[in-house]
Amino acid sequence: MSANNRKLTVLGSGFAALTATKQLRKLNPNAEITVISPSKEFIYLPSLIWIPSGMRNGDDLRIDLTNFFNKNNIQHVKASVTNITNGGRTVETDAGEFDNDGLIIASGGRFIKKLPGIEHAITPCEGIPAAEKIRDRLNGMDSGTIAIGFGGNPNEPSAMRGGPMFEFLFGIDNLLRKQGRRDKFKLIFFNPAAQPGKRLGDKVPANITKMMAKKGIETKLGHKMKGFEANLVKTEGEEFAADLILFMPGMTGPAWLPNSELPKSAGGMITANQFAQVEGYQATYVAGDAGSFPGPDWQAKQAHAADLQATAAAQNLTKELNGQTDYQAFKHELICIVDTLKHGILIKRTEKGTTLLPPCRLFHWAKRIFEGLYLRQYR
d(CA 272, CA 112): 21
What are the tens digits of pLDDT across the range 215-236? 999 999 999 999 999 999 999 9
pLDDT over 80 at 201, yes or no: no
Helices (H), ranges, 46-193: 58-61, 66-71, 128-139, 163-178
Q: Is 317 helix (H, G, I), strand (E, B) or coil?
A: helix
CATH number of 3-109+253-321: 3.50.50.60
Task: Give the per-residue pLDDT at 352.
Answer: 87
CA distances from 134 to 131, 146, 171, 238 (A): 5, 11, 12, 25
Tell me the domain boundaries of the chain: 3-109+253-321, 113-251
Q: What is the mean pLDDT of the chain?
A: 94
Task: Give the per-residue pLDDT at 198.
Answer: 78
What are the tens digits of pLDDT across the range 175-189? 999 999 999 999 999
d(CA 186, CA 231): 14
CA distances from 129 to 43, 139, 358 (A): 11, 15, 32
pLDDT over 60 at 1, yes or no: no
Whether 189 and 162 have beta carbons less than 8 Å apart is answered as no
Q: What is the percent of the chain with per-residue pLDDT over 90, rounded to a whole number?
A: 84
Task: Give the per-residue pLDDT at 187.
Answer: 98
Task: Give the per-residue pLDDT at 77.
Answer: 98
The residue with greater pLDDT, 152 or 38, is 38
Task: Give the per-residue pLDDT at 229.
Answer: 96
Task: Give the per-residue pLDDT at 362.
Answer: 97
Instruction: Of 180-184, 205-209, 233-237, 290-294, give the lowest mean pLDDT range.
Output: 205-209
Q: Do domains 3-109+253-321 and 113-251 have the same CATH topology?
A: yes
* 49: nearest Cα among 166, 147, 144, 141: 166
Instruction: Of 143-147, 241-245, 353-357, give the lowest mean pLDDT range.
Output: 353-357
pLDDT over 70 at 3, yes or no: no
Architecture per CATH, 113-251? 3-Layer(bba) Sandwich (3.50)
Tell me the average pLDDT across 71-80.
97
Task: Give the per-residue pLDDT at 76.
Answer: 98
